[in-house]
Structure 1
Amino acid sequence: MAILFASCEDEKTPTEKAELITKNKSKKAKLKPVVVQEYGMTLSDFNFERDTVKNGDFFGNIMDKNGVMPGKVYQITESIPDSIFNFKRINVGRPYTLLKSKDSLAKTLGFIYEHNAIDYTKVFFGDSIYAEKGKKPVTIKQKIATGVITSSLSNAIDEAGISYEITSRFADIYQWSVDFFRLQKGDQFKIIYNEKFINDSIFAGVESIDAAILNHKGREFYAFNFLVDAKVGRYDYFDEEAVTLRSFFLKAPLQYSRISSRYSPRRFHPVQKRWKAHKGTDYAAATGTPIWSTADGTVIKSSYTRGNGNYVKVKHTNKYTTQYLHMSKRAVKVGDYVKQGEIIGYVGSTGLATGPHVCYRFWVNGKQVDPYKQDLPDAEPMEENMKPSYFEFIQPLKEKLDQVDYVEIAEQA
């Protein structure tokens, strides 16, 4: 018996054969692995796993769960300095990525930790141990917005559809010239600001405020962000006449809820139950609220007494000294040099205090005075040779602000 085998391949026409070859190539193309580029590297060179730091997690136990022995973990943490990556500061909720070998062992070779939406650190511990800091590609987009005060600045910022981050930055710009606790209904603002986006689409926060104008009590306060020292990258805000918006002293040493007691030659002390002078200004705030130095200076006292509780005293010049009382915790020591706005302690109720607040005291030439009644100096003025370039710089920003109409309070029906 003869058995004949027929090949279907032989029966195909040249056109059909060509179509089959094309289909096979297409199938192979679909099976081609996807290349993942992220964190400045090719992630797909590894088997990678994404996760998030959970309650109770720390670098050691994350490594332990992924097969890295304690001895190796010790070697990694000892090899990489805190200045590159602090293994003790891994926060709950932060994303991380594990890099593993592509072979059957799936050995853990790396750890990538995201500090925030932009900054990350890559830690490698395969053939050698090293770490690299990095940033995700960021696009800066300039925007302009306007709003009107109906109840508070934060509400007005929110109603204008602007990121909440703008609220504190906007207040920081005008903190020397405007009391934000006395903003009036109907006060208006316009602002030119920059937002950061990852991959041109994912919002990553506010970069800066280029220019702003606050219409307060019918007076317009301009502010323009200008580079005053290219060597250190220092910017400052000035008005349309190149006058600095900063004062030598901040108006207050913290973000407070209210002034609970002002400087007075005669006040009934709530703890000692007697009339005596109150040579300070009390700012009520929640326990733990940061307290900052109102001007640059050197810490000359950081101590505790029965009356003052935890307190800090800062000498700014031969003429001016400030003191901050009743702290829950001090953050500086004698001899430290502090910058204006730097945290020096936290609100508490230590010493003779009935509730959480900071008592802010002010000396001029060795005499305690009411800071609200002093004609305090401005910060350093802009150098004359910088003014021509400043006026050229602010012209397009000012024109852009002036072209935008203020928002008015909507009339009630």
Structure 2
Amino acid sequence: MRLETLAVHAGSRIDPATGAVAPPLYLSTTFERAADGSYPRGYIYTRHSNPNREALEEAVAALEGGAAAMAFASGSAAVFAILQALAPGAHVVAPKELYHGLARLFREIATAWGLSFSFVDMTDPSAVALAIRPETRLIWVETPSNPMLRITDISRIAALAHQAGARCICDNTMATPILQRPLTLGADGVVHSATKYLGGHSDAMGGVVVLKEEDHFARRLREIQITGGAILSPFESWLILRGLRTLPYRMRVHSENAMRVASFLAQHPAVETVHYPGLPTHPGHVVAARQMDLFGGLVSFQVRGGREAAFRVAGQVRLFIRATSFGGPESLIEHRASVEGPGTATPDNLLRLAIGLEHPDDLIEDLDQALRAAVSDIRAP
């Protein structure tokens, strides 16, 4: 079954009570037991299981080609659970360029549990190989990376992980299973901030982990999900599953629009550098073209004139919204270094664009007028 069909039908069942085509919302926190003490309908308590959450987990697992899935209250909670499933003393290899929220989680919280981390250039397999230790149990991949959109060769890194007896888990939030399927490339698991493209409407927060096998690690992760309680609510599960139905078509437009915007920016005299893996000039383009079907909806670019110029551009836009996140229908612009705070390696003149579903010509016109106004302001005596 093709991805477009899976997105519409996975996790979907006609409601037996009413014949409703759209899934009902099951807000009940508890479920009736039979007279003999059993649970004939399969549900006990919503923290343990809920029809809406199960439907979403089934659907995302089907799209990723995995055997097990767990939905959490946020993408960060999903990653938190993966780290908690590791034994104390385990070593993790992670990319130097990592979503800043996860970098803080790894460095400031998880080390207190007895985990250790090595941060390397994940685009260089030799650097990854050198970082592996006997106690390495996980290699974390984020590709494309946030916000520089660097590309990691998933197959090569997964092979290194398996040679060392470790797992390879890939953050697939930016690409989604529509553009990239890490499990088919050798990864053992994927994680999503479902808040982004899976939900697709900027109105629901969640996270999902999908594993290739239903094994002891999957069972451990599910135990942490249920006992720890950082579960996705029924309503947010319902919203994200609704968004999933249109994911293939939205990702196509996000990607096509982003390619148009990136190509425009690459020719603009006020732009120093464009970071987008769809451009042939991008250093990871060859690998991205091999492991991705399209190149996604995020574009980063560096403005000539430094931090002041970048803020002027962000301040001049009329259509783009100055806000954090990505994956919704609206286009966003953000100065990443100021969001990430002290210690960031993100260039001070970099702006990240989350390209939405508007007409690309409108987005280009807005960026053009903002760039021209910003450069004019800077050059004025």
> Shorter-chain TM-score category?
under 0.3
The answer to which structure has the higher strand fraction is 1
Please give the TM-score of this superposition, normalised by the length of structure 2.
0.21
Rg larger in structure: 1
Please give the TM-score of this superposition, normalised by the length of structure 1.
0.20
By relative contact order (CA 8 Å, sep 6+), the higher-ranking structure is 2
